[in-house]
Structure 1
Amino acid sequence: MKLTRIHHCKNLNVQKYKQLEKQAVLLGRIRSEVWAKYGAISGLNISDRAIRDAWMKESRDFGVSANAWKETLRDCIGDIKAYREASKDKVKQAIRKRTSCNNEQKRLYTLLKKDEWMTDNFLHRQMRNHFKHGVNHTHNQIIVRADMCKTFELNGQCWLKVPSLVPRQTIKIPLNTTVDFAPQGTLRIILKNGNVEVHSTYDAVETQDCGQETVGVDKGYSEAFVDSDGEVYGNGLGKLISSESDYLNQKYKRRNKLRAISKAKPHKKQKIELNNLGRKKLDKRQDTQKAKLKTLIFTATHKLVDKAKVIVAEDLTSPIQSKRNYGKNTNRRLNTWAKGLLANALTSISHRRGSTVHLVNSAYTSQSDSFLHGLLIGTRKGDRFHRFNGEVVQADWNAARNVLARLNDNEISRYTPYKTVKRILQERTDRYKSELTDSGSSYTLGNKTLTECELLLDYV
Structure 2
Amino acid sequence: MKVTRIAYSVRLNPGKCAALAEQARRLGRVRSEVWQRYGSIAGVGSGLTDRQVRDRWLADGTHLQFGVLANAWKETVRDAMADIAANLEGAKVQVRRAVTQRTDDPAERKRMFTALKADQWAGDPFLARQMRKHWKRGRNHTLNQIVVRADKHHAITDARGRLWLAVPGLERRKMVRIPLSTTAVPTGTLRLILRGGRVEVHYQIDASQMRSSQRPCGQRTIGVDKGYTEALTDSDGQPHGVRLGMLLASESDRLKERNRRRAKLRSIANNAALRGDHAKAHRIKTNNLGTVKRDRQAARHRAKMRTEIFTAVHRVVDEAATVIAEDLTKRFAGRKTLGKNMNRRLAAWTKGVTAEALRNVSERRGSALVPVNAAYTSQTCHRCGAFGRRSGDRFHCTPCGVVWQADVNAAINILHRAGDPDIALHTPHHTVKQILQDRTDRHRTRLPVQDSSPAIAERRANHPNRSTTSNQ
TM value normalised by structure 1: 0.91
Letter in 2 for 1:347: R
Correspondence list, 1:194-205, <5 A: 194-205=197-208
Letter in 1 for 2:167: V
User: Is the 8 Å Cα contact of residues 224 and 300 (structure 1) preserved in structure 2?
Assistant: yes
Letter in 1 for 2:41: I
| Mapped pair 1:236 → 2:247 | no
State the match for 1:192 in structure 2.
Answer: 195
Identity of aligned residues (%): 50
CA distance in 2, matches of 1:149, 1:63: 20
Q: 2:113 aligns with which of 109, 112, 121?
A: 109
Q: 1:396 aligns with which of 390, 399, 407?
A: 407
Task: Spell out structure 1 runs of 4+ moving beyond 6 A.
Answer: none
Letter in 2 for 1:105: R
| Mapped pair 1:72 → 2:79 | no
Q: Please report how far the alpha carbon of residue 316 of structure 1 lies from its aligned counterpart in structure 2 after TM superposition.
A: 2.3
Residues 181-233 of structure 1 show CA distances to partners (whole Å, capped at 9, x for unaligned) of: 20111111111111111111111115471000101000111001110010111
State the match for 2:103 in structure 1.
Answer: 99
Residues 307-333 of structure 1 show CA distances to partners (whole Å, capped at 9, x for unaligned) of: 000000001212112212333322221
Q: CA RMSD in A?
A: 1.4
Correspondence list, 1:301-312, <5 A: 301-312=313-324
Q: 1:351 aligns with which of 349, 358, 363?
A: 363
| Mapped pair 1:165 → 2:198 | no
State the match for 1:411 in structure 2.
Answer: 422
State the match for 2:156 in structure 1.
Answer: 152
User: Is the 8 Å Cα contact of residues 329 and 355 (structure 2) preserved in structure 1?
Assistant: no
CA distance in 2, matches of 1:415, 1:264: 55
CA distance in 2, matches of 1:168, 1:322: 57
CA distance in 2, matches of 1:37, 1:54: 12
User: In structure 2, the residue corresponding to 1:73 is in which secondary structure?
Assistant: helix
Residues 62-89 of structure 1 show CA distances to partners (whole Å, capped at 9, x for unaligned) of: 1110000000010000011011101110
User: In structure 2, the residue corresponding to 1:235 is in which secondary structure?
Assistant: coil
Letter in 1 for 2:102: R
100-109 or 270-279, which deviates more: 270-279
Structure 2, unpaired ranges of 5+:
448-472
Q: 1:430 aligns with which of 419, 441, 444?
A: 441
23-32 or 250-259, which deviates more: 250-259
Letter in 2 for 1:6: I
Letter in 1 for 2:354: L
Letter in 2 for 1:323: R
Q: Please report how far the alpha carbon of residue 11 of structure 1 lies from its aligned counterpart in structure 2 after TM superposition.
A: 1.8
User: Is the 8 Å Cα contact of residues 146 and 185 (structure 1) preserved in structure 2?
Assistant: yes
| Mapped pair 1:313 → 2:318 | no
User: In structure 1, the residue corresponding to 2:202 is in which secondary structure?
Assistant: strand
User: Is the 8 Å Cα contact of residues 213 and 309 (structure 1) preserved in structure 2?
Assistant: yes
Q: Please report how far the alpha carbon of residue 128 of structure 1 lies from its aligned counterpart in structure 2 after TM superposition.
A: 1.0
378-387 or 91-100, which deviates more: 378-387
CA distance in 2, matches of 1:64, 1:324: 53
Structure 1, unpaired ranges of 5+:
437-460
User: In structure 2, the residue corresponding to 1:10 is in which secondary structure?
Assistant: coil
CA distance in 1, matches of 2:355, 2:430: 24
Letter in 1 for 2:67: G
CA distance in 2, matches of 1:125, 1:334: 33
CA distance in 2, matches of 1:405, 1:351: 23
Letter in 2 for 1:385: F
Residues 377-413 of structure 1 show CA distances to partners (whole Å, capped at 9, x for unaligned) of: x211011111214422210000000000101100111
Q: Please report how far the alpha carbon of residue 152 of structure 1 lies from its aligned counterpart in structure 2 after TM superposition.
A: 1.4
CA distance in 2, matches of 1:360, 1:288: 33
State the match for 2:468 in structure 1.
Answer: none
TM value normalised by structure 2: 0.89
Correspondence list, 1:37-48, <5 A: 37-43=37-43, 44=45, 45-48=47-50
Letter in 1 for 2:221: T
CA distance in 2, matches of 1:90, 1:319: 11
State the match for 1:20 in structure 2.
Answer: 20
CA distance in 2, matches of 1:252, 1:52: 46
As a proportion of its length, which structure holds more strand? 1
| Mapped pair 1:328 → 2:340 | yes
CA distance in 1, matches of 2:341, 2:42: 43
CA distance in 1, matches of 2:299, 2:340: 26
State the match for 1:263 in structure 2.
Answer: 270
State the match for 2:390 in structure 1.
Answer: 380
